[in-house]
Structure 1
Amino acid sequence: MNHGGRKSRGDCLVFVNADTRLPRRADLLINWALKGPACWGRFDVEIGRGGALAGLVGWSMNRQSRLTGIATGNQAIFMTREVFEIVGGFPDQALMEDIAMSRLLRRLSAPVCLPMRVTTFARRWQQHGPLRTVVRMWWLRLRYWCGTSPRALAEEYIDVRWRDSA
């Protein structure tokens, strides 16, 4: 992400997970959002083709993000180039880099939380089940907040993903 951010030429940067799609006219929405006092933000997320439970999970993710000021890659984090450079880019860590970046950015301003939705594909949610996926992500995040290294979390996360898909 840092390589792409540093190589890009625009004044606004958007960081989005590979399985997430931006809404129409996202460029205009982002430019509009960054004209105010906030220097960063994110979109609401919906989990595509995931059913009613996935809708509840998406609603919960958006609500939690509004309350905490923490955004994830599924929500398409955007910021000004200036702010990206001020904070030194994303922390160089194996997992939870979006959480760490949100914490850095929150020191500069609250995020703009755009209600327009990005769509993240339900593959992981369907493969592991919504409840199991939510519990797993919360467990990883709790351990991160308690000081477990991102590298240790990433090794466990990747091992579980590989084992579950085999």
Structure 2
Amino acid sequence: MLTKISVIVPVLNEEECLPELLNSLQRFSGIEIIISDGGSSDRSLEICSRHPVKMATGSAGRGMQLNRGAQLATAPILLFLHADSQLETIVVEQVLEAIEKGYHWGCATMDFDERTPFYRVLAFFSNLRARCWKSCYGDQAIWCRKDIFLNTGGFPDIPLMEDLALSHHLRSKYPSQVVSGRVTSSARRFRAGGLWATLIKMQVLKMLYLLGANPKRLADYYQQWWRVSL
């Protein structure tokens, strides 16, 4: 079977999410699954060994992990998927159609695994941002032609906001499309940290990054906040 899309998943201690994700991806046709592990200490590697996936291993850092996964990819199109997300099968077909129409990168339409008004509104504005400002986040299943991704250097080697940096670089040079197929993202960060507190802190981090703050300092703040939230 011709491999059309390489799905790359960064992993760090995701034993709770991986069984559902890998079982769902095996229903897709024309894809290869690449797991890029950042040094998991739980059962993540054991779980992956039971499935037909390629493995990349190395130091932690989502951007670096995704870049390592991209180096193993054999398909002409890359799709980056978080371990706690679920992807509609139609997304693969829609991405291929978008490529044929001349679009070089983009993302899927995002939902959350909780459907309360808060999450519906949040998903609406996330999708609006991606469509109007060409700014896609990692939990929106970013996809890109492999040659373009590699030629632009992939994700920058920064500990936070690597997805925002990549999309801002691509949008200045290449046409993008948000396909209508859905990626369902986990709301676990909001459940752990509180709805409004998490939203506000994420927006503050984004604004500080756009104003030129050091991504390393922002990552330290993020990790400190995440430990407090847990």
Long gaps (5+) in structure 2: 1-65
Higher relative contact order, chain-length normalized (CA < 8 Å, sep 6+): 1
Name the residue aligned to 2:80.
Answer: 15
After TM superposition, the runs of 4+ consecutive aligned structure 1 residues lying more than 4 A away are none
* Amino acid across the alignment from 2:210: W
TM (norm. structure 2) is 0.69
1:23-68 CA-partner distances (Å, limit 9, x unpaired) = 1233222111111221101011111125121111111111122121
Name the residue aligned to 1:51.
Answer: 116
Q: Say whether residues 1:118 and 2:176 are aligned partners.
A: no
Q: Say whether residues 1:36 and 2:101 are aligned partners.
A: yes
TM (norm. structure 1) is 0.94
Which structure features the higher share of helix residues? 1
Q: Say whether residues 1:129 and 2:194 are aligned partners.
A: yes
Contact 2:139–2:185 (CA under 8 A) maintained in structure 1:
yes
The size of the alignment, in residue pairs, is: 165
Judge which range, 76-85 or 107-116, deviates more: 107-116
Of structures 1 and 2, the larger Rg is shown by 2
* Amino acid across the alignment from 1:117: R
Contact 1:48–1:119 (CA under 8 A) maintained in structure 2:
yes
Superposition pairs of residues 1-166 of structure 1, within 5 angstroms: 1-165=66-230
Measure, in 1, the Cα distance between the counterparts of 2:131 and 2:90: 22
Measure, in 1, the Cα distance between the counterparts of 2:141 and 2:102: 19
Note closer, same or farther for the CA distance 1:110–1:137 as it changes in structure 2 (3 Å cut): farther
What is the CA RMSD across the aligned residues, in angstroms? 1.2
Long gaps (5+) in structure 1: none
